[in-house]
Amino acid sequence: MSNISLSLEQLTPETAAAVKEQLRDHVEIQQIANQINIKNQIELMALGKEPATKLAKFSDQLLDIVTRSASFESNTLFKQLETLMLSFDKKDFAEQRGFFKKLFARKPKNDDDLFEKYNVLGRDIEKIHYQFVLMEEELAKDNRILARLYNEDLTYYLELEKYIVATDMKLHEVQTTLIPMYEKQGEAGNQVAKMELNRLQAIAELLQQKIDELEKSRMVAIITAPQIDMLRNGNSELIEQINGAFVKTIPVFKMGLMNAVNERRQQLQSQSASAFEDRMKQFGGASKEAVQLSTAMAQQSSTTQSLEEMWDIIVSGIANYQHLRDEQTIKRQQAEQQLLTLRH
């Protein structure tokens, strides 16, 4: 079969007809046809049984992947993430003048509450991040299995097609050579020939039944191929969304959050309103301390902007992922129904 180039992406009922013609001229197929013993009904019934049985088990594996997916067990996780992201208040990291004004006016207890709030948020979002990593790994694992099943589907299709073509060639031989020969002998009064004719007609019917049976399994392989592609592409889209919006972004968001909180704590510990006023009175205008303060304000503004960007990526990522997941849900339900129909 090595000289037959075929991809399941190209495999349709139309292209399958061309494949059959290629197989008819293949040495291996002719050998299979020649080895079919029409006198042994048990062997006739067993033709193509192995790939057909494997394909049935293969369909069960595919159905299992369709019905169980990490992406459809994520509702609770996304609700938890949404709740955490809503607890992030951009006003807590407002632009510097307001920040310092609030900072110096606040009571330590309030600031301690704020620090505790974001420390808890950081711990909780880290736990959620771990779940996204696991989800991404599970989807990637499913895609590796789907890639294997894709190759198996191609193998089973080709094996079934070999037996279908070989059996059809043998049926053609029986119908066009053997049956006419014994019909002629039977018409001449040969009773033994008449008995053999009856047997050959029964064999022809059995061969046709076997072809019909294998054709059904063959169609399972043909129909299953685009289902596998759909699942792999869908998983890849979900993996890309999880990776970009959550797996890579959440750690950056958490780090920025912790840095902003720690900077604020350090500023609270190192400065006070009276000390600031004294320095301004002492040095006046564009003093060194004022320059340092403006630099700190710019850095804090950059941190706030970065946090807001990360927050937007994560929040929009939730919506985008849920949209993709809903689309995949519909496609998977359709695939599940089709696979269940093929099993009956």
Query: What string of DSSP letters covers 203-243?
Result: HHHHHHHHHHHHHHHHHHHHHHHHHHHHHHHHHHHHHHHHI
Residue 316, SS3 per DSSP = helix
Looking at residue 106, the DSSP 8-state letter turns out to be S
- The answer to whether residue 7 is domain-embedded is no
Tell me what pLDDT residue 69 has.
62
Tell me what pLDDT residue 259 has.
80
- The answer to whether residue 285 is domain-embedded is yes
User: Quick one: how many helices (H) and strands (E) in the chain?
Assistant: 12, 0
Residue 281, SS3 per DSSP = helix
Low-confidence ranges of the chain (pLDDT < 50): 1-3, 5-8, 95-109, 272-274, 276, 279-280, 283-288, 290-291, 293-302
Q: How far apart are CA 327 and CA 74, in angstroms?
A: 15
Query: Which whole-number Å values give the CA distances from 84 to 128, 193, 278, 308, in the listed order?
Result: 10, 86, 41, 14
Range of the domain at 150: 13-343
Are 125 and 254 a contacting pair, CB within 8 Å? yes
Tell me what pLDDT residue 165 has.
93
- The answer to whether residue 3 is domain-embedded is no
- The answer to whether residue 1 is domain-embedded is no
Tell me what pLDDT residue 299 has.
45
Helices 108-173 and 75-87 meet at what angle, rounded to 10?
150
Tell me what pLDDT residue 95 has.
45
Q: How far apart are CA 94 and CA 82, in angstroms?
A: 22
- The answer to whether residue 260 is domain-embedded is yes
Are 61 and 194 a contacting pair, CB within 8 Å? no
- The answer to whether residue 8 is domain-embedded is no
Structural domain count of the chain: 1
- The answer to whether residue 206 is domain-embedded is yes
The domain that contains 186 carries what CATH number? 1.10.287
Distance of alpha carbon 216 from its chain centroid, rounded? 27
- The answer to whether residue 5 is domain-embedded is no
